[in-house]
Amino acid sequence: MAMDKGFRRIVLSLMTLVTISVITVGAYLYFNFKSRSSLPVIVPEDVRSFMHFQTRKMRDESGVKQPAYMDSLIQLIAKAPLFSHVKDPAETGISLYSDIVYFYTKEHSHVIALSLNTEQRFSRLLDTLKKQGILGGQVIKPTYNYAKFVDLPLYVAYKYKAMVLVRPTIESRELALSTDEIESQLAKIFSGKSTGYIIGKSIQSLYDKDCQWLAWKGDRPVGLAYENGKVAAFEGFDEGAQPNLSGAMDVLGSMRLAIRDTSPEKKNALKTQNGIEMLHVYFKDIFDYLSNANYGY
């Protein structure tokens, strides 16, 4: 399926710019904001799937040990040539230890979002990448700024203390989106409106349960709440979240980037995993993908 292929490809491409800041200081996908993050506000109402990992909240409240492969993942990505010019991650403007939000749009684009400390520093980073021939020049719009990666179907945009990396699955080296098409997608993300996916009662019910890891793909949203090294799994409803371990594992398992290469037996085994095991599985998936030299489209 296009989504599976796109997500596998995007893991490297979308993580590269993210990890310029986060990986090089020893943390990725791991642990931000004590209060609820405002980052998901940018997610449009009509997305096809969604995932939110509240990093600091997990760090402060979970009691969960560092996931397996985390150190290996950090070391692996920090060696990438793209990061060689970055001496101080704070120079990039990306919020260290930031929450991470992933969503798959109605237009069949994968998006990963992180918070920004300053737009000015991030803009300087993009200008540096342009000089290195990695990015094209920035396009300045009223509600967002963006640039396209050279020879890659990948865009970076930022505004409102948020940055996004957008990978349209219908675009390739040979077939590029028109300017109007990509700008239309970015305008929806940076609309500044409070009418997006995140206002739904069912997803809000999971935040009310203090879930640090939330996901949705085509049915009910689910979430995992970690505390004192244990985990509780929930399914979101308008009337309030309800415990549902198998439902949460089904959704999280279906969104794994290695799922399409998993045997039916292992797919069934996913339903018996708990939320701590699933956390480790996600880090292993990313490490395995990158260690197989998947360093680009």
pLDDT in tens, 156-198: 999 878 888 888 888 776 777 889 999 999 999 998 877 788 8
User: What pLDDT is recorded for position 176?
Assistant: 76
Distance CA 199, CA 188 (A): 16
Amino acid code (one letter) for 167: R
Q: Say what percent of the chain tops pLDDT 70.
A: 71
Quick one: which of 156, 143, 140, 148 has its CA closest to 178? 148
Q: Is 139 helix (H, G, I), strand (E, B) or coil?
A: strand
pTM score, two decimals?
0.82
| Per-residue pLDDT, 277 | 86
Q: How far, in Å, CA of 104 to CA of 167, rounded?
A: 9
Listed by start position, the domains of the chain span 2-31+65-195, 198-291
- Helix (H) or strand (E) run with residue 126 in it: helix 119-131
Average pLDDT over residues 52-68: 84
In Å, what is the CA distance from 28 to each residue of 24, 167, 233? Answer: 9, 20, 23
pLDDT of res. 283: 78
What stretches of 38-104 show up as alpha helix (H) in DSSP? 55-61, 70-78
Q: In the block, which residue shows the tokens 């997610």?
A: 43
CB 31 within 8 A of CB 290: no
> Strand pairing partners for 231?
226
How far apart CA 62 and CA 217 sit, in angstroms, is 24
Note the pLDDT of residue 259: 54
What pLDDT, in 10s, does the model give residues 216-228? 988 889 999 999 9
- 283 in Cβ contact with 29 (< 8 Å): yes
Report the pLDDT value the prediction gives residue 214, as an integer from 0 to 100.
93
